[in-house]
Structure 1
Amino acid sequence: MHLARSFVVSCLVATGLALPSSDITKEARSVKYAPKVPPLTTPWTDKVGTNPWPEYPRPLLQRKQWKNLNGIWKYQSAANLDAVQSPPFGQELEQEVLIPSCLESALSGIQADSALYSWFSTSFDVSPAWKGEQVVLNFGAVDYEATVFVNGKEAGFHRGGYFRFSLDVTEHLKFGEKNELLVFAHDPTDSDDYVIPIGKQTLRPSHIFYTPCSGIWQSVWLEAAPSNHITNLDIDANMHGQVNITVHSSAKDTSAQAEVTVHKDGKTVATHKGPTNKPFQFKVSSPKLWSPDSPELYDVTVKLGNDKVESYTGFRTISRGKVDGIERPLLNGEFIFMFGTLDQGYWPDGLYTPPNLEAMVYDLKFLKKLGFNMVRKHIKVETDLFYRACDEIGLLVIQDMPSLRPLQNVLPNEEQQVEFGRQMDLLVNQFKSYPSIVSWVVYNEGWGQITDYFPEFALTERVRQLDPTRLVDSTTGWFDHGAGDFSDNHHYANPQCGTPFYSTQSSPYDPSRIGFQGEFGGIGTNVSIEHLWNNQAAIDTIDQTYEIDETIDAWNYRSHRLLDELEDQIRLYACSGGVWTQTTDVEGEVNGLMTYDRRLERVDVKQWKEDIKALYEAAAARS
């Protein structure tokens, strides 16, 4: 794999700032931003505007001194990897682009077919009041590799299309003046011999594999902090009131003490001091526990010298244990039947980037309305604001690691496998403090999974070392060799959950682990063109959907029968949870609870609520 110093662009743009007078003539040479026409819109497409995602992007570590750099930037494609050796400093790039967005999306204003090599640029100012502070440049996610230049100097490099990164750019800045930000992005997706985590992205979309996302697809922002400042917080608060916390700082000196204060409803319930860069513990008496039925959250303030950040946590314990002789997932010591949807996180107007926060939360509230208590985030990683919404709404999250090149099922070589493990570490470390996440998934349906030996055992142990507070689903689907906490079956359309029968594509139920239906359902109905992804190649694959029902009534009937069958398997066998495919249609797939544009719901709400409630009642009868 030739991942040289190429990478995806992550740039900063200060919305609404005037360009220097010397740039006014150059401005006329850039194609002005305008969204393209997507194959399908959503109710939020026209609400995006040119100041997208104004919310503070990192809810578990918030600072008051910050500057949002989202908005209109400049973009142009590059010929190859060598372009990074000749940055276009001081030059006007060809087109305006919306940040954050996927270059292949209509909302970007580019709608590229493939964007393997790209330049992004913007200018921003830094207040003289920030002089003497450390100024940190943050990127929510850039797909896939990013080299960042500030005022003609290389500020840093990052690899991994789903993960946040930060750069201390203080030494490169001009305070009280314009600063140039330039980013080179390389996103190979599944081109040539690259084997990298891409999830459902492909340069050759085909039914269950979709349009790729390249570039700066999550928020970019600046913030000011003291020289010794908090860089990350690892927080786990359990059902017994014990808070386990590590306050990571920019200084290696661990003698500095961090002060942690926990608040509930505006009242202080605990204060404790501890070292930085190593874990410490303290207790909160009689906490209100977090669960899907009661998503109680506590505010957390952390101080380190002159640095102060705001965060939050929820008190809950995730574990497994025998209930009536059957291995079960436990939340706060009790069996919880986890039932949710396969959630792809795709949007027809923005692809990987939802149009706005309201749109993203709409999907989650829709699931909660029907009675689901969980969502499986399917081989994609979302913005931190997604997980905060799940924490607040009360939705458990099963979080997948994005798969390696699933469409061609090309296996990684040794170097690529090492990189997959490194990025799995990034996934766990970045998101392990969100209370809603209940389990990590290593491999989906054997995609990128080496079977000459069984790397899932070492990867599972690696995840447990990084995060001993959650369950691990090592192999959801098949190629199950006994690793992890789940015996996970995929079968369409009927479930086979913890049962004495199974299809040859999955493994038999293993009673030493939790019986789980990682995917089932997948039934669909075709819809009129105004609700379809209007791309003929995608439309031609609609009949590859697992089952097509001719009417919505027939679809609801079939859904009822499948959920009734799952209920039987809870009562008779060892089923502990299930994942229905899927939240929405995606491109050529028409098997969502609602259409891709989110305008048509297939569900008979009353029926679905009753059927889902019956699943929980059947599980309660077994506990």
Structure 2
Amino acid sequence: MFTMGGAVFPLLAIAGLATAATPYAPQTPPLTTDWTEGLGTNPWPEYPRPQLQRSQWQSLNGIWEYRNAESSGAIGAPPFGQELDTEVMIPSCLESGLSGLQGQNTLYSWLSTNFTVDDDWDGQSILLNFGAVDYEASVFINGQNVGLHRGGYFEFSVDATEYINFGADNELLVFVHDPTDGEGAVIPIGKQTLNQRHIFYRPCSGIWQSVWLEAAPADHISRLDLTADMDGEVTVTVHSASGNATSVEVTVEEGDETIASETGTANSEFKFTVPDIQRWSPDSPSLYNVTVTLGDDQVRSYTGFRTISKGTVDGVVRPLVNGEFRFIFGTLDQGYWPDGLYTPPNREAMTYDLQLLKDLGFNMVRKHIKVEPALFYRACDELGLLVIQDMPSLAVQPNAAQQLEFVRQLELLVNQLKNYPSIMSWVIYNEGWGQILTTYPEFDLTERVRELDPTRLVNSVTGWYDHGAGDYSDNHHYANPQCGTPFYSTPSSPYDPERIGIQGEFGGIGHNVTIENLWNVQATISTIPETYEIGSSIEVWNYRSRVLLQELRDQIQRFACSAAVWTQTTDVEGEVNGLMTYDRRLKRVDERQWREDIEGLYSAARGRVG
């Protein structure tokens, strides 16, 4: 028998009645990538959280078991001790081919695995960590309900110590509910939908980021807030599990050499200065290792010394990186994969996209209404790609309770990602999706984001319904840029010279391809004609791209354009406007031409300064 919240449940896996789960086998997705084959059963073996890393850890990624739970009532009868129906890959989206399921309408799910904890960990706290579960996760260990988390993009941890059998088998069972945009749900979902159409895609349910265990002392570091500015000042808050005012030590290292060390108090902010630092920038992404010690707990982290701000340069409000204006140019990056959906096949695949952008000369990526695994931001830190980070959007305007939940998750976003040097701006609302248009909540939300993170800029409303909040005056216009200009098209707003002029989205030029490079789902193929503009060949696509980039350059020279976002890195499902096709096998870009044109944007911006 097992207990949960005082209730008693029978052990149903009676000898002779249990059936083996169907073995894992990847399903054939509508489109593959070069990474689809040969991934094996040890996905994402890297330590998942580079900003707070412990030496004693154990990955729980790999083959788990899955059962469709059918309804919310299933949580009242957890399948403790049972073989579930089929094996599944974790992490993965249950709707993806790589999961082994390629499910549809996976609204309620049971996921289970078994693990052992070495006797050497006995006497320490055992922390069970999830990178992200979409959308709501109830966690059971050895028959006990140990935690509930809500929010499909955010990491969470459970102190599993009192539920663990050391040196023996342990059962981990997770109940997942993901309504996406069904059941009347209004939750942060980004581009996910149960009803796929042109710019809205197949959803991602389940445990789609890494799961791992780690051992730590009872009073351990539960969160680390760490930033460093261009002058070498480090600002730290070390949060502890106990909340006590314990002494902590922070050391900054360059290679094997400790170059600074400071002692402070846990749960209180303190500052110190590191001399003779190399600044982090897109041109020179210098990073420094950091070690933090609280009692018997020690974690590894890292930082980069840089300052993001805004200022008036020759009469124009500009974004500043380390006190200097540089034109910021990147792509709209959706972060979708045809074989894994939200979950890239592996780290190599994920960094392939970023390296392409860097090689072409982009210095930024706009992470579009999705939150990536922590290793994505680490890669941007290492490559020197600035990140404009969107909050995942709601599909429709929320009621009061739904808005409160949106705000709670916005705070999770900022607190989870604010240590990464590459992130330069937060985006609250995209094109009015989920934005309340009667009371203008973006003003209060902007101030809340600034309270949580005063070190970055805030783009309150990218594209539409701009009432004057935030640091950017943002325009979306695909047919041609309207960036910091004295002309605009609705529903975008006139350029506001008191804020930074940015072309938040433009381009979007399409080019159709043969079925070998298309998401082979007829419903989405039928939406390809909805593309803003379609070129008849790759040569024409590059010609039209050059025309738009030359027009953008002209607006940099003539007006107040400071940043721009080209749509987009890759095709996604029925969208055929990427620098690459969805499978990453066909590059549309004439790489030499694009490097020249991107450098032309930077040259034009340099010509506007002093």
TM bucket normalised to smaller: over 0.9
Q: Deviations over 1:247-292 (max 9, x none)?
A: 11111211x1111110012211101110001110000012100000
Rounded Cα–Cα distance in structure 1 between residues aligned with 2:26 and 2:533: 35
Q: Note closer, same or farther for the CA distance 1:131–1:418 as it changes in structure 2 (3 Å cut).
A: same
Rounded Cα–Cα distance in structure 2 between residues aligned with 1:537 and 1:179: 44
2:10 aligns with none
1:617 aligns with 603
Q: Within 5 A, what are the aligned runs for 1:424-503?
A: 424-503=410-489
CA contact (8 A) 1:143 1:161 kept: yes
Which of the numbers 319, 333, 338 marks the counterpart of 2:323? 333
Partner amino acid, structure 2, of 1:529 = I
Which of the numbers 120, 123, 138 marks the counterpart of 1:132? 123
Is the counterpart of residue 313 in structure 1 residue 303 in structure 2? yes
Q: Within 5 A, what are the aligned runs for 1:150-229?
A: 150-229=141-220
CA contact (8 A) 2:139 2:175 kept: yes
Question: 1:47, CA displacement in angstroms?
Answer: 3.0
Where 1:154 maps in the other structure, the secondary structure is: strand
Rounded Cα–Cα distance in structure 1 between residues aligned with 2:120 and 2:258: 32
Which of the numbers 70, 76, 98 marks the counterpart of 2:89? 98
Is the counterpart of residue 397 in structure 1 residue 383 in structure 2? no
Question: 1:217, CA displacement in angstroms?
Answer: 0.1
2:70 aligns with 79
Name structure 2 gaps, 5 residues minimum.
Answer: 1-12
Rounded Cα–Cα distance in structure 2 between residues aligned with 1:504 and 1:230: 49
1:29 aligns with 20
2:3 aligns with none
Is the counterpart of residue 347 in structure 1 residue 333 in structure 2? no
Where 1:45 maps in the other structure, the secondary structure is: coil
Q: Note closer, same or farther for the CA distance 1:563–1:27 as it changes in structure 2 (3 Å cut).
A: farther
Which of the numbers 567, 571, 590 marks the counterpart of 2:557? 571
Where 2:37 maps in the other structure, the secondary structure is: helix
Partner amino acid, structure 2, of 1:464 = R
Rounded Cα–Cα distance in structure 1 between residues aligned with 2:540 and 2:197: 27
Question: 1:210, CA displacement in angstroms?
Answer: 0.2
1:14 aligns with none
Q: Deviations over 1:150-201 (max 9, x none)?
A: 0000110000000000000100010000000001000000002110000000
Partner amino acid, structure 1, of 2:363 = N
Which of the numbers 280, 283, 296 marks the counterpart of 2:273? 283
Q: Note closer, same or farther for the CA distance 1:27–1:568 as it changes in structure 2 (3 Å cut).
A: farther
Partner amino acid, structure 1, of 2:160 = V
Partner amino acid, structure 2, of 1:361 = T
Question: 1:452, CA displacement in angstroms?
Answer: 1.1
Is the counterpart of residue 540 in structure 1 residue 526 in structure 2? yes
Is the counterpart of residue 231 in structure 1 residue 230 in structure 2? no
Which of the numbers 479, 502, 512 marks the counterpart of 2:498? 512
Where 2:547 maps in the other structure, the secondary structure is: helix
Where 1:558 maps in the other structure, the secondary structure is: helix
Segments of 4+ moved more than 4 angstroms: 22-28
Is the counterpart of residue 69 in structure 1 residue 55 in structure 2? no
1:119 aligns with 110
Rounded Cα–Cα distance in structure 2 between residues aligned with 1:93 and 1:197: 30
2:9 aligns with none
Q: Scaled by the length of structure 1, what TM-score is found?
A: 0.95
Question: 1:29, CA displacement in angstroms?
Answer: 2.4
Rounded Cα–Cα distance in structure 1 between residues aligned with 2:224 and 2:281: 22
Q: Deviations over 1:485-526 (max 9, x none)?
A: 000000012100000000022000000000000000000110
Is the counterpart of residue 258 in structure 1 residue 248 in structure 2? yes
Rounded Cα–Cα distance in structure 1 between residues aligned with 2:433 and 2:114: 41
CA contact (8 A) 2:19 2:83 kept: no
CA contact (8 A) 2:330 2:365 kept: yes
Q: Deviations over 1:559-581 (max 9, x none)?
A: 00000000000000000000000
Partner amino acid, structure 2, of 1:118 = S
Larger mean Cα displacement after TM superposition, 74-83 or 216-225: 74-83
- Aligned CA-pair RMSD: 1.2
Name structure 1 gaps, 5 residues minimum.
Answer: 1-21
Rounded Cα–Cα distance in structure 2 between residues aligned with 1:518 and 1:68: 39
Partner amino acid, structure 2, of 1:567 = R
Larger mean Cα displacement after TM superposition, 26-35 or 277-286: 26-35
Q: Within 5 A, what are the aligned runs for 1:572-591?
A: 572-591=558-577
Is the counterpart of residue 561 in structure 1 residue 551 in structure 2? no
Percentage identity across aligned positions?
Answer: 68
> Number of paired residues?
598
Is the counterpart of residue 594 in structure 1 residue 556 in structure 2? no
Q: Note closer, same or farther for the CA distance 1:64–1:227 as it changes in structure 2 (3 Å cut).
A: same
Rounded Cα–Cα distance in structure 2 between residues aligned with 1:622 and 1:24: 78
2:6 aligns with none
Rounded Cα–Cα distance in structure 1 between residues aligned with 2:375 and 2:516: 30
Larger mean Cα displacement after TM superposition, 518-527 or 74-83: 74-83
Which of the numbers 523, 530, 541 marks the counterpart of 2:516? 530
Partner amino acid, structure 2, of 1:207 = H
Is the counterpart of residue 41 in structure 1 residue 32 in structure 2? yes
Rounded Cα–Cα distance in structure 2 between residues aligned with 1:314 and 1:546: 39
Question: 1:25, CA displacement in angstroms?
Answer: 7.4
Partner amino acid, structure 2, of 1:560 = R
Rounded Cα–Cα distance in structure 2 between residues aligned with 1:546 and 1:101: 32
Rounded Cα–Cα distance in structure 2 between residues aligned with 1:559 and 1:218: 35
Partner amino acid, structure 2, of 1:213 = C
Where 1:562 maps in the other structure, the secondary structure is: helix
Question: 1:458, CA displacement in angstroms?
Answer: 0.5
Is the counterpart of residue 356 in structure 1 residue 342 in structure 2? no
Q: Scaled by the length of structure 2, what TM-score is found?
A: 0.97
Partner amino acid, structure 1, of 2:125 = Q
Q: Note closer, same or farther for the CA distance 1:267–1:24 as it changes in structure 2 (3 Å cut).
A: farther
CA contact (8 A) 1:26 1:92 kept: no
Which of the numbers 140, 165, 168 marks the counterpart of 1:149? 140
Rounded Cα–Cα distance in structure 2 between residues aligned with 1:397 and 1:462: 20
Rounded Cα–Cα distance in structure 2 between residues aligned with 1:565 and 1:497: 10
2:371 aligns with 381
2:8 aligns with none
Q: Deviations over 1:455-499 (max 9, x none)?
A: 000000000000000000000001000000000000012100000
Question: 1:48, CA displacement in angstroms?
Answer: 1.8
Is the counterpart of residue 296 in structure 1 residue 286 in structure 2? yes
Q: Deviations over 1:286-340 (max 9, x none)?
A: 2100000000000001111111111000000000000001000001000121100
Partner amino acid, structure 1, of 2:136 = E
Question: 1:27, CA displacement in angstroms?
Answer: 7.7
Partner amino acid, structure 2, of 1:32 = P
